[in-house]
Structure 1
Amino acid sequence: MTTLRGTLAPGAPDYVYLPFEVPPGTAELQVSYTYDRPAVPPGTPGNALDIGLFDERGTELGGRGFRGWSGGARTEFRVRADEATPGYLPGPLNPGTWHIALGPYTVAPQGLRYEVTVTLTGGGPGRTPTPSYPPARAAGRGRDWYRGDCHLHSWHSDGRRTPAEIAALARAAGLDFINSSDHNTTAAHAHWADAAGDDLLVLLGEEVTTRNGHVLALGTDPGTFVDWRHRARDHRWARFAREIRRAGGLAVPAHPHGDCVGCAWKFGFAEADAVEVWNGQWTPDDEVTLAAWDARLVSSARADRAWLPAMGDSDAHRDPDVVGHPQTVVLAEDLTREAILEGLRAGRSYVAESRAVSLAFTVTAEGGRRAGIGERLTAPADAPVTVRLEARGAPRCSVRLVTDQGVVLTGEPLPVAGAGAVEWRTTTAHAAYVRAELRHEAAAGPLPGAMAAFTNPVFLKAA
């Protein structure tokens, strides 16, 4: 047994590494830790200490030696060749210098005293199981609209649900696909195969949780680890965004205006493939994110350059978090990893609060040429084009149409039956793009109500 003690002062490094030796013939490694939580003045963060593990291959950036991370969700864990605590990777316990990784998330003014106990048990080497990953294809409907939730947490990070429980909730929510996105670990990847099926495509990824914001590595190759130990000032984000794309995935900043410590996105959007505009229950930070995203649409449309599609996810961790609230509905060629990611990347999608809400949104020019969500329509500058939104499952919700000039139409609330259609005419000279929103009845005066659904834009270009 080895006990490691110390004190971290306010302003401590983001990560502190405690070395310990693993001798030959070690069959199991157990770790437990405690730290003090002194009282602090109101409004002052108290102590919060995360923990993880790196093996004899080292702690260098890139994660060759990474063996697991539980953040602040667990006070103890164990690793063997044949199994490991959720959040950690089973595998050989090779002799050498290993490291406990401590992450002082917040440190009280009095400092943070910690004690880590490492217990090693001898024995045979054990056999590391060959991981089994979910298939990259499910039984789809061909080219169709597919519903998914790409931000979910299991008990492999700070969630409280098993992969099987999440999959059951996803099916109940009418989802066709989900994405595994535990904080700073890929340990869940090998535990999703049994939860997937012909009716549910399971994508694999990670919520890369840095001190300057969180990003979803969405739909990466199985086992792809993306390091989180960097800040915006380190100028390393572009490297890891490229790693995500090389692994076949998308880089999607999550809740970019979140108000928790370290949640707000500080890396910019040059390397992003999409952005999570709606996260969980609709709150003021989602409203801010929507406005900021729309402002980028204006810049992209005026410069006729690439744009950043929007997504929505539940970020569900535990009860009462609702899997599939909200959900991204994407037009894809089939229910495969490749097709879903291509549809998300192209922005052929809208976000809805539940399976009950369905939208059809098009812009049609004279002569019948038509563009849908995420597409572009070219027409003479003075020729009229017709914008049409059809909605179902949104009783008493109001339609809002938004262009680069702002909100240009607010329709009457949909009937209690929840279905209706709205048409509006414009020209490519007057609107560089148009997108639609469905809002619940406002709770306070002129403020817009909570979101029920919104679309990505249709772009308009003068011939």
Structure 2
Amino acid sequence: MCDDDAGIGRRTLFVTGAAAALTLSSVSFASAADRQQTRTVRGTLPPGSPDFVYLPVEVPSGVGELRVAYTYDRPAVPAGTAGNALDIGIFDERGTELGGRGFRGWSGGARTEFFLRADDATPGYLPGPVRSGTWHIALGPYTVAPQGLTYEITITLTYGEPGTAVEPVYPPDRAKGRGRDWYRGDCHLHSWYSDGRRTPAEIGALARAAGLDFVNSSEHNTHSAHAHWADVAGDDLLVMLGEEVTTRNGHVVAIGTDPGTFVDWRYRARDNRYGRFARQIRKAGGLVVPAHPHATCIGCNWKFGFGEADAIEVWNGPWTPDDEMALADWDSMLVASVRGEGREAGRDWIPAMGSSDAHRAPDAVGHPQTVVLADDLTREAIQEGIRAGRSYVAESAAVSLSLTASGGRGAHAGVGERLEVGRDTPVTVRLEVSGAPRCVVRFVTDQGVLHTSAPLPVAGSGAVEWRTTPSYAAYVRAELRHEAALGPLPGPMAAFTNPVFLGAR
């Protein structure tokens, strides 16, 4: 074993194409005199460290397995002050270039050690040969205490013949489906391939129990789970592949990218790199969906703007005040859209969706879920329905909605559609509900809440109608709320729809 000091004084500052990062002195190994060699590196990062710190490791030829373990101190800090949190990942000899080919895995703060071999790797990491060259252990000092962050990294190389690489098998792009119908899905889920505690098989079983038709793999900053969902998919469950791109200025879920697509996350809003990777998601066949835009965790609040968004995750997990804020912001965007503001050519509004962001028990898969009108249960059809806003969000499969607007000479439209009638044409808006006992229906327009129903019966089914004109309401969307606990405040959400637009464009 050899001990090295990689303190902050032994460093090089460089730019990866986005945020500045710190490179430490490299760790070298002698040629293989022993079957196994280990090096230990210690150092301290001060408050204000760059987002990423790279430790170069010179890997000689003949290595069959690379293993890394790390620890860091967690000193007591004053109330309201962030303590130490250190993420970790690795890039191979192909380098750390932003969006490059060198990425080999990321576990954030979920694991204290990992390994890579040709035939296997720790969840979160990509199996493959351990080729000779300069590898980089990537450290992400998420937060650093006022006392600094002292770390220890142990690298172990095991020499020998590499195992046989396994060709990845991915889930199919389609399931059996029911033709054009409403399909239920959860597009933001975490397994043990990032910081979740469930296997893909366990998530699949929970998804089926929750009445879901589709899910999306969305691990933090890694696509390593893509090759582990094929056995979970089936005629009754479509599994799409993606990633939760977890930057320091917000998270974005890539929904339904091509298998094996990796999306880099090493940038902030000020680096002007987000648009490049949003376009990469779409080029790989995916949707760009900013997640939990008002979440309160450090780095979770969305700061990139919504110009690249295909949809917005307005509802994330159990309904909380930050979801209420996201809903209000999204509604303000709808108001701006009917004034023709803020959207690029070809798109005049951004649909809403919801997902569970489930990580472990007791997180409920499918709470909430996005219910999409799609031509079939295929990746392309589900994405097209989400993109078009032909969807609503419900707390469970027990809740079903049907929102329609009708007027003029038999014209009618549903969620995500436009009722093309004159400005003063009487319009009837109707919401049919099942599975929502004692819930209240609210019709929301560009003027705000214009109609609130009496509570639905205990049986949970009913229909509510309201009449308006396009000159009075440019759009109508519906909310289904549980009974309020505090006076005039609305109760928790049971379901809400995307809007129906009223009148000619």
Q: What TM-score comes out, normalization by structure 1 length?
A: 0.99
Residue 213 of structure 1 corresponds to which residue in structure 2? 250
Letter in 1 for 2:372: V
Distance 2:69 2:464 in 1: 60
Which of 188, 208, 212 is 1:175 aligned to? 212
Distance 2:369 2:155 in 1: 42
Distance 1:380 1:309 in 2: 24
1:47 and 2:84 matched: yes
1:379-419: per-residue Cα shift (whole Å, max 9, x none)? 11111011000000000000000000000001000000000
Q: What is the CA-CA distance between 1:21 and the residue it aligns to? A: 1.3
SS at match of 1:303: coil
Distance 2:174 2:326 in 1: 32
Residue 260 of structure 1 corresponds to which residue in structure 2? 297
Which entry has the higher C-alpha Rg, 1 or 2? 2
Letter in 2 for 1:337: R
Distance 2:504 2:125 in 1: 55
Letter in 1 for 2:414: G
Distance 2:138 2:493 in 1: 40
Q: What is the CA-CA distance between 1:63 and the residue it aligns to? A: 3.6
Residue 312 of structure 1 corresponds to which residue in structure 2? 354
Q: What is the CA-CA distance between 1:113 and the residue it aligns to? A: 0.4
Distance 2:157 2:504 in 1: 70
Distance 1:400 1:141 in 2: 31
1:255-292: per-residue Cα shift (whole Å, max 9, x none)? 00000000000000001110000000000000000000
Contact 1:429 1:462 in 2 (8 A): no
Letter in 2 for 1:373: V
Which of 32, 49, 54 is 2:69 aligned to? 32
Distance 1:291 1:139 in 2: 37
* Number of corresponding residues: 463
Distance 1:380 1:215 in 2: 39
Distance 2:372 2:293 in 1: 21
Where do residues 287-302 of structure 1 align in structure 2 (5 Å cutoff)?
287-302=324-339
CA-atom RMSD in angstroms: 0.8
Letter in 1 for 2:212: L
Distance 1:207 1:383 in 2: 45
Runs of 4+ displaced beyond 4 Å: none
1:299-358: per-residue Cα shift (whole Å, max 9, x none)? 001218610000000000000000000000000000000000000000000000000000
Letter in 2 for 1:302: R
SS at match of 1:164: helix
Which of 411, 414, 418 is 2:453 aligned to? 411
Q: What is the CA-CA distance between 1:42 and the residue it aligns to? A: 0.6
Where do residues 237-256 of structure 1 align in structure 2 (5 Å cutoff)?
237-256=274-293
Q: What is the CA-CA distance between 1:58 and the residue it aligns to? A: 0.4
Q: What is the CA-CA distance between 1:368 and the residue it aligns to? A: 1.0
Q: Structure 2: 5+ residue runs without aligned partners?
A: 1-37, 342-346
Q: What is the CA-CA distance between 1:462 and the residue it aligns to? A: 4.1
Q: What is the CA-CA distance between 1:127 and the residue it aligns to? A: 1.7
Which of 67, 73, 77 is 2:114 aligned to? 77
Residue 349 of structure 1 corresponds to which residue in structure 2? 391
Q: Structure 1: 5+ residue runs without aligned partners?
A: none
1:91 and 2:133 matched: no
1:45-87: per-residue Cα shift (whole Å, max 9, x none)? 1000000010000011004100000000000111000000000
Letter in 1 for 2:490: P
Q: What TM-score comes out, normalization by structure 2 length?
A: 0.91
Judge which range, 393-402 or 119-128, deviates more: 119-128
Which of 388, 393, 398 is 2:440 aligned to? 398
Letter in 1 for 2:297: C
1:163-209: per-residue Cα shift (whole Å, max 9, x none)? 00000000000000000000000000000000110000000000000
Letter in 1 for 2:273: R
Which of 168, 173, 176 is 1:131 aligned to? 168
Which of 249, 255, 264 is 1:227 aligned to? 264
Where do residues 433-452 of structure 1 align in structure 2 (5 Å cutoff)?
433-452=475-494
Residue 322 of structure 1 corresponds to which residue in structure 2? 364
Letter in 2 for 1:256: P
Q: 1:341 to 1:264 in 2, by over 3 A?
A: same
Distance 2:120 2:483 in 1: 51
Residue 455 of structure 1 corresponds to which residue in structure 2? 497
Judge which range, 3-12 or 257-266, deviates more: 3-12
1:146-167: per-residue Cα shift (whole Å, max 9, x none)? 0000000000000000000000
SS at match of 1:345: helix
SS at match of 1:188: helix
Q: What is the CA-CA distance between 1:126 and the residue it aligns to? A: 2.1
Residue 234 of structure 2 corresponds to which residue in structure 1? 197
Letter in 1 for 2:352: A
Contact 1:68 1:185 in 2 (8 A): yes
Contact 1:7 1:114 in 2 (8 A): yes
Q: What is the CA-CA distance between 1:439 and the residue it aligns to? A: 0.1
Residue 108 of structure 1 corresponds to which residue in structure 2? 145
Where do residues 377-388 of structure 1 align in structure 2 (5 Å cutoff)?
377-388=419-430
Q: What is the CA-CA distance between 1:125 and the residue it aligns to? A: 2.3
Distance 2:423 2:417 in 1: 18
Letter in 1 for 2:109: G
Distance 2:134 2:379 in 1: 39
Percent sequence identity over aligned pairs: 77
Distance 1:142 1:154 in 2: 30
Q: What is the CA-CA distance between 1:364 and the residue it aligns to? A: 0.4
1:75-119: per-residue Cα shift (whole Å, max 9, x none)? 011100000000000001100010100000000000000010000
Distance 1:462 1:6 in 2: 65
Contact 1:57 1:64 in 2 (8 A): yes
1:340 and 2:382 matched: yes
